[in-house]
Amino acid sequence: MKHYKVGYTQGVYDMFHVGHLNLINNAKKQCDYLIVAVNSDDLVVEYKNKKPVIDQDARRMIVENIRAVDKAVIANTLDKVVQLKKYQYDAIFIGDDWKGSPRWEATKFELAGYGVDVVFLPYTEGVSSTDLRVIEKKKVEE
């Protein structure tokens, strides 16, 4: 397993769950300094067409209080090169459920030109914010 100086990961982290925690902890095992970007409310609405349940400042506060996180920031873009220029990371971590997707294959190719590795980490099966929302909605409807 390769070790990196600065690692970066980015997500919504809405309704924070063990899958989020596993991703962050696994990323930290592979780098000295871990930056975790929390997608802004406006960004989430823009690309997911839904408003997060928990607002961006509260989500950032939750993330920054995780032992493995060295710095938590708000992200206003999905462009990983923009974020690279801002945070100077040498590895970006993402769940392996994205492996092979056109978006992440393009990102992997683009970041390789900057000497940055895309590291796919094990996805925690059976837990996602989307699934939790659906389960909660069904409970309310019953």
pLDDT tens digits, 80-102: 999 999 999 999 999 998 999 99
Residue 69 sits at φ, ψ, to 5 deg, of -90, 125
Give the strand pairing for 31-39 and 117-121.
unpaired
Place of tokens 């393009």: 106
The answer for residues whose C-beta is within 8 angstroms of residue 14's C-beta and 6 or more apart is 44, 52, 53, 54, 59, 129
pLDDT band at 1 (very low <50, low <70, confident <90, very high): confident
pLDDT tens digits, 22-51: 999 999 999 999 999 999 999 999 999 999
CA nearest 14: which of 141, 127, 142, 137?
Answer: 127
Question: How many angstroms separate the Cα of 36 from the Cα of each of 24, 63, 102, 133, 138?
Answer: 8, 8, 23, 23, 32
Interval 56-84 mean pLDDT = 98
Q: What's the chain's Rg over C-alpha atoms?
A: 15
Amino acid 56 reads: Q
- Distance, CA of 8 to CA of 43 (rounded, Å): 18
**0.85 exceeded by pTM:** yes
- CA geometry: angle 70, 60, 20, nearest 5 deg: 75
